[in-house]
Amino acid sequence: MKESKEVPRRSLLTWVSSVALFGSAVISALANFVFLKPRATYGAPSRFSIGRPEEFPPGSRIAIEQRRICVAREGNQVAVISTTCTHLGCIVAVSDTGFSCPCHGSRYDQDGNVTGGPAPKPLPWYQVKLAPNGELEVDTSVEIKPGTYYTV
């Protein structure tokens, strides 16, 4: 009869603890690698395209809710006005007389000036330019003087 070869208890414990230590080192290294790659999102880009000038007929005011802006066109001039209420950041609705905030009742005229309600300042106007591809490009990081239109 053959004798079975038994593994000594000390060797077994050494092997198990070595595997556990190596496994924890691998998990720690992976966790550090994942930590180094930032998971932060910094919001929507401040420069974006809104389409060709022909998509905005003269005399129109078109709200682009995803971007929180209103594109106003007067003849061959285009302007972009924010639709974020300056009171608490609600999205204002575009109306025939201007803008109105459904949350707290702030009212703005066609140019975004405050006409009523708790809003502390007028709606900001953003810079708009014609990109090389022929589309209008808005930069929400650059506020311009209200009443300033871009000629297309």
Per-residue pLDDT of 80-120, as tens digits, reads 999 999 999 999 999 888 999 998 889 999 999 999 989 99
How far apart are alpha carbons 79 and 145 in whole angstroms?
11
In the predicted structure, residue 9 carries a pLDDT above the cut 90: no
Is 105:112 a contact under the CB 8 Å cutoff? no
Please state which of the four CATH numbers 3.40.1190.20, 3.40.50.360, 2.120.10.10, 2.102.10.10 is assigned to the domain occupying 47-151.
2.102.10.10
How far apart are alpha carbons 147 and 77 in whole angstroms?
11
Is 84:78 a contact under the CB 8 Å cutoff? no
The residues spanned by each domain of the chain are: 9-40, 47-151
The neighbour count for residue 80, using CB atoms within 10 Å, is 25
Supply φ then ψ for residue 11, to 5 degrees. Answer: -65, -40
pLDDT for 96: 82
